[in-house]
């Protein structure tokens, strides 16, 4: 029995809105997924993450297998219990983080060997071990083990890397087995080469997955190249399954991706930039540490209903950032996550009512205004 499902509710152009149902709860799409790398969305209590409107968050195979260890989290009842989040969790498969975080790594047909960036201990990640770790963590949506080629890379390198990822996708599928209530997503690669993207999509569709990610983007290619790829890549994927664009992004990246048929996204941006004093708003972004905010009694955004905007002035936020108080990162992270979820809710409503283009025009018009 399936126990998981994806239902498309409405479509407006290429943009879609729907619901992914899982035993731990529903995920409204298009969805933005906050990142909880080390079993916490940094600076946020789980109930606060939920209060921003998040239906699902991300965990990280790479970090958690190194510290505190997947077997330890399993012994303690799994990641949901461990971090006190009882709604869906999606975990990335670890390969991308190995290539971007660890040193002394070796890539072979078998998998990747690397040294922990924490203590230098040696580790081995394969499609099979990645599936085992994600099962031990108890994540609801499991990502296939893939390789995301570092850019710039020539076409041949991208083709070889994509084909390795497709062999790993088959091994991931075989190792995942039959797990009702859990979903396995394949990850499309192929760089910015449309024929390689199509080859990858066909390989994944032939294997058969519960959802399909567009990988290999947001790796420095820039928004124009990314949108150029998204003008065709989602269309190569089954339309009745969720499409997840990995690692994206800024608000305008998110809107452009949904416009092109993407249903799910994740990014560290709202939380990471919040900790540095960067606030994202409907009219653009501000860095609260800038001296011009020192005497400003206004909230970050007078239309925002988050705790930061409801109860604190820019002057206060400026002060607590300048004095490195813990509440500084907490308040701005909350604001940014709240704003990102507000964008998603706005798009879900607009697509449902067939007015996505008008909503998008308003989104860009407001952002064009000057001083905020
Ligand atoms: N498996 C896999 N993961 C990818 C990821 C990681 C997505 N977040 C995972 C979470 C799990 C926990 C950690 C993150 C990506 N992230 C990005 N760009 C991020 C760009 C960025 C970097 C820093 C700040 C903002 C944006 N491109 C990605 C491509 C892939 C990919 O092909 N395969
Ligand atoms: Zn706010």
370 vs 194, higher pLDDT:
194
Atom of ligand 1 nearest to the CA of 58: 11
- Residue 161 in this model has a pLDDT that exceeds 70: yes
Ligand nearest to the CA of 302: 2
Residue 124 pLDDT class (50, 70, 90 cuts): very high
Q: Is 266 a catalytic residue?
A: yes
- Residue 370 in this model has a pLDDT that exceeds 60: no
> Which residues form ligand 1's pocket by a CB distance below 6 Å?
35, 37, 58, 60, 92-93, 95-96, 143, 146, 148, 187, 215-216, 218-219, 246-247, 266-269
Q: What is the ipTM of this complex?
A: 0.99
Tell me the C-alpha to C-alpha distance, in Å, between residue 47 and each of 84, 265, 267, 330: 9, 21, 20, 13
Q: What pTM did the predictor assign?
A: 0.98
Q: State in Å: Cα 282 to ligand 1 middle.
A: 24
Residue 103 pLDDT class (50, 70, 90 cuts): confident
Q: Residue count of the chain, please give it.
A: 372
Distance CA 204, CA 207 (A): 5
- Residue 1 in this model has a pLDDT that exceeds 70: no
Residue 102 pLDDT class (50, 70, 90 cuts): confident
293: its two tokens: 């905010």
Strand order in the sheet with 25-29: 5-12, 15-22, 25-29
- Average pLDDT rounded to a whole number, residues 160-179: 98
Strands 141-143 vs 183-188: parallel, antiparallel or unpaired:
parallel
How high is the pLDDT of residue 368? 66
Residue 55 pLDDT class (50, 70, 90 cuts): very high
Backbone angles phi, psi at 267, to 5 degrees: -165, 145
How high is the pLDDT of residue 195? 98
How high is the pLDDT of residue 337? 98
How high is the pLDDT of residue 355? 98
Cis amide prior to 68 (ω within 30 degrees): yes
* 267-291 pLDDT, tens digit each: 999 999 999 999 999 999 999 999 9
- Average pLDDT rounded to a whole number, residues 19-46: 98
Q: Classify residue 35 by its DSSP letter.
A: B
* Residue ranges with strand state E in the chain: 5-12, 15-22, 25-29, 31-33, 57-60, 89-92, 103-107, 112-115, 122-125, 141-143, 183-188, 211-214, 243-245, 264-266, 278-281, 284-287
The sign of the CA dihedral 191, 236, 257, 163 is negative
What is the distance, to the nearest Å, from the Cα of residue 79 to the centroid of all Cα atoms in its chain?
A: 18
Place of tokens 């790479």: 62
Backbone angles phi, psi at 55, to 5 degrees: -95, -20
362: its two tokens: 């308003």
Place of tokens 């230098």: 120
- Residue 326 in this model has a pLDDT that exceeds 70: yes
Q: What rounded mean pLDDT belongs to the chain? A: 96
Largest CA distance in the chain: 60
How high is the pLDDT of residue 371? 56
Q: Is 206 a catalytic residue?
A: no
- Average pLDDT rounded to a whole number, residues 161-182: 98
DSSP-assigned beta bridge partners for residue 28: 19
- Residue 136 in this model has a pLDDT that exceeds 60: yes
- Residue 211 in this model has a pLDDT that exceeds 90: yes
Distance CA 184, CA 28 (A): 18
How high is the pLDDT of residue 340? 98
Ligand nearest to the CA of 301: 2
């Amino acid at each position: 029995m399936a126990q998981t499902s994806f239902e498309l509710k409405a479509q407006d152009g290429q943009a879609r809105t729907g619901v992914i149902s899982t035993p731990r709860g529903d995920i409204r799409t298009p969805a933005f997924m906050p990142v909880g790398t080390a079993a916490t969305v940094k600076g946020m209590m789980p109930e606060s993450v939920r209060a921003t409107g998040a239906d699902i968050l991300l965990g990280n195979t790479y970090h958690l297998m190194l510290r505190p260890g997947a077997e330890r989290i399993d012994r303690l009842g799994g990641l949901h219990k461990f971090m006190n989040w009882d709604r869906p969790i999606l975990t990335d498969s670890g390969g991308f983080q190995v290539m971007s975080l660890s040193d002394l790594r070796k890539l072979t047909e078998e998998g990747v060997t690397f040294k922990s960036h924490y203590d230098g201990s040696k580790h081995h990640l394969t499609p099979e071990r990645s599936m085992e770790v994600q099962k031990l963590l108890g994540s609801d949506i499991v990502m296939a083990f893939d390789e995301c080629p570092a850019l710039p890379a020539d076409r041949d390198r991208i083709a070889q890397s994509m084909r390795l990822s497709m062999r790993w996708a088959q091994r991931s599928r075989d190792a995942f087995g039959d797990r009702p209530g859990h979903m396995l997503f394949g990850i499309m690669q192929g760089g910015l080469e449309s024929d390689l993207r199509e080859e990858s999509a066909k390989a994944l569709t032939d294997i058969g997955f519960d959802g399909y990610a567009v990988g290999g983007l947001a790796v420095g290619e820039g928004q124009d190249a990314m949108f150029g790829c998204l003008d065709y890549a989602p269309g190569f994927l089954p339309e009745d399954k969720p499409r997840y664009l990995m690692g994206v992004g800024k608000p305008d990246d998110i809107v452009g991706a949904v416009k092109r048929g993407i249903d799910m996204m994740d990014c560290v941006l709202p939380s990471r930039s919040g900790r540095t004093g960067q606030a994202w708003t409907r009219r653009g972004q501000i860095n609260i540490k800038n001296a011009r905010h020192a005497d400003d009694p206004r909230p970050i955004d007078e239309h925002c209903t988050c705790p930061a905007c409801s109860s604190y002035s820019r002057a206060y936020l400026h002060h607590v950032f300048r004095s490195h108080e813990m509440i500084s990162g907490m308040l701005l992270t909350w604001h940014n996550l709240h704003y990102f979820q507000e964008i998603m809710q706005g798009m879900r409503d607009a697509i449902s009512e067939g007015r996505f283009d008008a909503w998008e025009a308003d989104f860009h018009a407001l952002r064009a205004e000057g001083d905020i």
